[in-house]
Structure 1
């Protein structure tokens, strides 16, 4: 019985790894880059204003 338990441990680990791998590689809805790009544009504008006031 102990030998069976030692054989089941890697089997259960492989099944869990397969399930996690399929979950991790699932296709997600594309949210788009809108909010991130808007924030970056605001950051660039702020940095340009700050650097132009120093010169």
Structure 2
């Protein structure tokens, strides 16, 4: 058991941070778009188009 607790910091090179950001930002935008589709499409169909239950099943 360790009696003295020390904070260990690991420095990540800037290049790796940049690659992570390049991957993370478009992925986040894509997930937001997917959630808008999942929530917005059925809501639009029921609210504006007055879709019935059978039409909603096809969505």
TM (normalized to structure 2)? 0.45
TM (normalized to structure 1)? 0.48
Q: Which structure has the highest helix share of the two?
A: 1
Q: Which structure: larger Rg?
A: 1
More RCO (CA 8 Å, sep 6+): 2
